[in-house]
Amino acid sequence: MFESLKKKFSRTSEKLEEELIEEAEAENNLQEESGSRFSFFSFGRKKKEGPEEDEDNLLPEADEPVEEDSPAEEEAEEVPEEVEEVKEEKKSRFWSRNKDDDEEVEDVPEEVEEVKEEKKSRFWSRNKDDDEASEDEDDDVEDEPEEEKKSHFWSRNKDKEDVSADGEASGGIFSFVREKTIQEKHVEDILFELEMELLQGDVAMEVATEVVENVKENLVGKKIKRSNDITEYTYYALRDAVEEIINIPGKSMTEMLEEKKAQGEPLVVMFVGINGTGKTTTIGKLANYYLKMGYTPVIAASDTFRAGAIEQVTYHADNVGVKIIKHQKGSDPAAVAYDAVEHARAQGKELVLIDTAGRMQTNTNLMDEMKKIKRVSNPDLVIFVGDAITGNDATEQARKFNEAIDIDGVILTKADADSKGGASLSIGYVIKKPIMFLGVGQGYDDIMEYDSEWMLNQLFSDDEEIAEEA
């Protein structure tokens, strides 16, 4: 779920890390440090597993620390002055082994001369003749980080097997000789790319802009001591920005149901939306959900416009075992809703679920009919049902319905099939109304009350079990 957003957030962290490390390399302000590099998603797991650890504990020692070169290796890698010049030109400070020795080298290998002439050569021991192959075996260990173009010191596309249960990734980490500060110039291009990627992922324009601005505010001015700090700061900057977007205050439907029950009145809920979003199926799921919680729902078949709509909602009501109030096709939808409310009051039922005809937000006549149903039934909640995988379309539909009838909340269907996550991230923020439920499958039990903390864990964890536990 939401795999696209996860990747975008992770790439933002990686790009900022590369930007700062490359700059520090050019400034001769970088040194290799033993330890394990954390993945972007590891910080959420660390926070969940236990109390906050001090800074030193965030950098555990690697199981196999890098060993110093043996005397035999030093002898095999005697370095002429010309090679030292090449090293200065490349400004490579990570794998030098202090190869100072007093022995003279009579002959300079031809390959070293090639290194001086060709800037693209990775190191001085790449193309040695076959008779020098034994010396290359030791050098290859040092050359691995530069084997791929722009690898930036470690592979960015490691398989999941390369990440431990604690979120530690194989590969070294780097620290800065002089502490670096994240400046606006470091994040400007990176956050512009993030904003474009969010828009491509069906995130609403105002939401993408708000996320980027919040991340920028949280990152600029942060002081960095080591590469893991960059990943951690970016993780929490993104997480805090998203949390502010998705955490829309409001009562849950269950809380409102309890309050109405205490008053001796049914909770009346009216459902609106366009055709094909799963509105009628969602009503069946909610009837089943609250029936299992001990409440007694009743369904009003107020979609008297669409052919087969009454039969469809009746099918769901019969399957879950709840009463349905219905009239003839073409009858007044408001009258059906009114009768359902009166039935619930007379029979002591706690919940009325009113199905309405799906309509486009541009259809004036149907929108007026929907307003009439609202006036007659006087619902406690008007809920817009949208299809999560339609992204920006669902957000725009919710905006129009909110302007026309003032909705109170949102239910997103097909959230389990939504890889982008644009609607889930945007819709509540755009209309300033909470998401109340998510449809997560095709069965009657496949519906869940929305929880912003659960949503955060879905977006900022690559471990499904951890997300489910939240």
Going by the annotation, the residues of the binding site for GTP are 273-280, 355-359, 413-416
Binding-site residue positions: 273-280, 355-359, 413-416
- The CA distance from 285 to 253, in Å, is 14
Q: Using CA atoms in the order 35, 38, 43, 49, what is the torsion angle rounded to 10 degrees?
A: -60
In three-state form (DSSP H/G/I as H, E/B as E, the rest C), the secondary structure along 321-350 is: CCEEECCCCCCCHHHHHHHHHHHHHHHCCC
CB of 381 closer than 8 Å to CB of 269: yes
Letter for the amino acid at 35? G
CB of 355 closer than 8 Å to CB of 300: yes
Give the position of tokens 């933002």.
Answer: 12
- The CA distance from 395 to 273, in Å, is 11
In terms of Cβ atoms closer than 10 Å to its own Cβ (0-12, 13-18, 19+), residue 68 is exposed
Cα four-point dihedral sign 86, 34, 221, 177: negative
CB of 196 closer than 8 Å to CB of 15: no
CB of 463 closer than 8 Å to CB of 45: yes
Q: Which of 92, 69, 81, 61 is nearest to 141 (CA)?
A: 69
Cα four-point dihedral sign 2, 14, 206, 247: positive
Q: Which of 237, 359, 383, 364 is nearest to 304 (CA)?
A: 359
Query: Please, which contacts does 345-348 make with residues 24 or more away whose CB atoms are closer than 8 Å?
Result: 345/265, 345/266, 347/296, 347/298, 347/323, 348/296
In terms of Cβ atoms closer than 10 Å to its own Cβ (0-12, 13-18, 19+), residue 418 is buried
Residue 33 β-bridge partners: 173
Longest distance between any two alpha carbons in the chain, whole Å: 106
Quick one: DSSP state of residue 65? P
DSSP 67-119: PPPPHHHHHHT---HHHHHHHHHHT--SS----------S---HHHHHHHH-T
Residue 65, both tokens: 């620390």
